Amino acid sequence: MTTSKPNKTSEAIFLGELISFRLSLKLIHWSITGSGSYAAHISLDQAIDTLTEITDRLTETSIALNGTLNIVIPETVCPKDYVAHVDLFYAHVEKARKELFPESFSQSIIDDVQETIQQLLFRLKRLS
């Protein structure tokens, strides 16, 4: 069985979006105030730390498979509805996993991204 090789440009775009998403979590982290803000603050820090390591693993794996990638980080936003922002990015990752990362070991790294996002959503929705 052969699988089609993902487009290097699309993979580089996704990696830039993943970095921008992680940076957006830091912007949210700095802007959170009010009731439950401490729990959200800590939850965001945990997700940022985990995503930093995962992003590095996924980027290095992608470069090993495809060669140098031209990764550009898009504008980073600090959304007012941060839970919706995180939910939307989870859906984006789900779509990208199917289109861009056919190898089982790359999918395993994407699993870690999705697990981190789901844990963050749980904490933001239930503990904040």
* CATH number for the segment(s) 8-126: 1.20.1260.10
Domains of the chain, residue spans: 8-126
**DSSP per-residue string spanning 88-111:** HHHHHHHHHHHHH--SHHHHHHHH
**Per-residue pLDDT, 2:** 44
Q: Closest by alpha carbon to 16, among 75, 60, 86, 65? A: 75
What confidence tier does 16 reach under pLDDT thresholds 50, 70, 90?
very high
**One-letter amino acid of 49:** D
Stated pTM of the model: 0.91
75-127 tens-digit pLDDT: 999 999 999 999 999 999 999 998 899 889 999 999 999 999 999 999 999 87
Cβ-based neighbours of 39, under 8 Å, separated by 6 or more: 123, 127, 128
Least confident of 4-8, 19-23, 113-117: 4-8
